[in-house]
Amino acid sequence: MTSHSRIGAQQIVDKVRQALTNAHTDAPHPAAAREASPADQLPRSPFADLPEQEVLKLHRAVGVLTGISDPFHRLHDGRASDTTTIGGRSVVNFSSYDYLGLNGHPGVAAAAKAAIDRFGTSVSASRLSGGERQVHRDLDEALARLHSCESALAFVSGHATNVSVIGTLLGAEDLIVCDSFVHNSIMEGARLSGARRILSPHGDLDALERALRLNRARHRRALVVVEGLYSMDGDMPDLATLIKLKRRYDAWLMVDEAHSIGVLGANGRGIAEEQNIDPADVDIWMGTLSKTLAAAGGYIAGAEPLVRLLKLTTPGFLFSVGLSPPVAAAAHAAIGLMQEETWRLARMRENGRLFLAGARARGLDTGFSIGAAITPVIVGNSPHAVLLSERLLARGYNVGPAIFPGVAENQARLRFFVTSQHTPKQIEDVLEATAEELQAVRSGPSFVSMVAGRQL
């Protein structure tokens, strides 16, 4: 390390410490303190001194020192579509999972309103103890048909679906092999199960096969989990090969279709349709209602014995309230509209191809993306990703960053979600802005210089 680098690093440490000290010593105005009564003096929260709070304070201090605003939890003033309103200003939006533009569709909204009129906003109990409503059964049946499966079951949370289902089906005697890029909910479900967990390098089916070959015989059950369309990278697995491997090693295959339903396949039926696979060859189909289907929640689709077992044993279903009626009705209506208004899918896929080609033409690193709704622009480090997001917002584009620990530090990125509602001009303009601003970020002052040169 050079002398200049050591000085810069020490300056950062000193300035961050000073910022943290200022945060600790900020006090109310003396007059306000005199007027406060004993009843106003609330006890200090037991959570205020947890070590994790120091990390959060550090993040805030670094943001102050660099002048970079928090890119997360941005407050939107209305419905998010290809545009959104932030702070009263309309911006082009590339941070929405509304891939087919069905959120706010008159048909979806009408179905939700009709469900409220008939059932209210809540069923007020679990489906087990409080009974079901027809709106639940209609949605389950529609999801089963969508996947060409015998049965399906909707849960109130997509994340909880993976956690609870994997945690229910697998135990300490079992093996779970996951692609290393799978969603946090899958990782949490695997951890909850207590099973032996092996992460296979992303897309490396030779490594996945080796994990099964070396470990399968020592375990009661085995589960292989992949995503239909990877939410961080926008690529998909080779499903035919995975099916061969699960048969060879007597394993179950689970595919998380959270981002692939409504995106992959000629009719939006997901990766099985995209790759001409018989859906029955996959043991467990998982999906969410919060992306293309313009609602909230998750579901499992598969053979009737699987769904019957989950309906009677899965804590995330048994002990959770049934889906809110307007949410279930909205998802059901969205499934129908997706299949009726097929132009939405065609336009989204064309937009995705346009975005990917334009990004590559400008020398942007798009990783593994196949250009189907999700395309990252890999920046390389978290400060640059956050700064790029901020600069794009200033130019009228809302694009959220994905940074460490969500991704590896050298893989920090902006994720662009391209929908059927985006126009070619919006796509070309944001790509031009991204290329310009990324070059400016990389050629500008370093993170060390930004912190070291900031006055407190």
Active site residue 382: no
Side by side, which strands form the sheet with 196-200? 151-155, 298-302, 284-288, 252-256, 222-227, 175-179, 196-200
Catalytic residue from among 157, 185, 193, 231: 231
Pairing of strands 252-256, 284-288: parallel
Rg of the Cα trace of the chain? 24
In eight-state DSSP terms, residue 454 is -
pLDDT over threshold 80, residue 68: no
- Say how far apart CA 263 and CA 271 lie, in whole Å: 9
Closest CA to 97 of 220, 258, 246, 237: 258
Dump pLDDT digits (tens) for 247-266.
999 999 999 999 999 999 99
Q: Which pLDDT score, from 0 to 100, does residue 28 have?
A: 46
Chain-centroid distance of CA 404 in Å reads 15
Buried b (16+ CB within 10 A) or exposed e, 89-121: eebbbbbbbbbbbbbebeebbebbeebeeebee
Helices and strands, number each (H, E), in the chain: 18, 13
pLDDT band at 52 (very low <50, low <70, confident <90, very high): confident
| Selection from 185, 179, 144 nearest residue 164 by Cα | 185
User: For the chain, what is the mean pLDDT?
Assistant: 90
Residue 173, pLDDT score: 98
User: Is the pLDDT score of 19 beyond 80?
Assistant: no
pTM of the model: 0.88
Q: Given the structure tokens 């208004």, which residue do they identify? A: 341
pLDDT at 34 over 80: no
Percent of the chain with pLDDT over 90: 76
Q: Mind listing the pLDDT tens digit for each residue in 166-218?
A: 999 999 999 999 999 999 999 999 999 999 999 999 999 999 999 999 999 99
Selection from 414, 429, 166, 151 nearest residue 306 by Cα: 151
Give the SS3 label for residue 8. helix
Confidence category of residue 80, pLDDT binned at 50, 70, 90: confident
Is 231 noted as a catalytic residue in this protein? yes
Which pLDDT value is given to residue 69? 75
Please tell me the distance from the alpha carbon of residue 75 to that of residue 351, in angstroms, as a whole number. 27
Choice between 307 and 13, residue whose per-residue pLDDT is larger: 307
Task: Give percent of the chain with pLDDT exceeding 70.
Answer: 86
Rounded Cα–Cα distance for residues 172 and 44 (Å):
41
Q: Mean pLDDT lowest for which of 3-17, 213-227, 355-369, 404-418?
A: 3-17
- At residue 44, the pLDDT reads 82
Given this model, what pLDDT does residue 49 score? 84
Per-residue burial over 386-406, b if 16 or more Cβ lie within 10 Å, else e, is bbbbbbbbeeebbbbbbbeee
3-class state of residue 278 by DSSP? coil
Scan for tokens 């890999």, then name that residue.
Answer: 378
Q: Give me the residues paired with residue 375 across strands.
A: 416
Q: Please determine, for residue 449, whether its predicted confidence score (pLDDT) is greater than 80.
A: no
pLDDT computed for residue 401 by the predictor = 94
Tell me the CA distances in angstroms from 124 to 121, 130, 137, 299, one per residue in order: 9, 7, 17, 20
For residue 340, pLDDT beyond 50: yes
Alpha helices per DSSP H over 276-369: 304-313, 315-318, 325-340, 343-361
Q: 202 an active-site residue?
A: no
Nearby residues of 414 by Cβ (< 8 Å), 6 or more positions away: 376, 377, 379, 385, 388, 389, 392, 399, 400, 401, 402, 434
pLDDT tens-place string over residues 299-321: 999 999 999 999 999 999 999 99
Tens of pLDDT, residue by residue over 220-249, are 999 999 999 999 999 999 999 999 999 999
Considering 105, 259, 384, 422, which one is annotated as catalytic? 259
- Provide the pLDDT for residue 27: 44
Query: What domains are defined for the chain?
Result: 83-100+342-452 (3.90.1150.10), 106-340 (3.40.640.10)
Q: What pLDDT is attached to residue 117?
A: 98
Give the number of residues written for the chain. 456
Report the alpha-carbon distance of residue 269 to residue 99 in Å, rounded.
Answer: 14
**What is the reported pLDDT for 61?**
67
How far apart CA 261 and CA 277 sit, in angstroms, is 15
Q: What is the pLDDT of residue 246?
A: 98
Phi and psi torsions of 276, nearest 5°: 55, 50
Q: What pLDDT, on the 0 to 100 scale, is given for residue 31?
A: 41
408 DSSP assignment: -
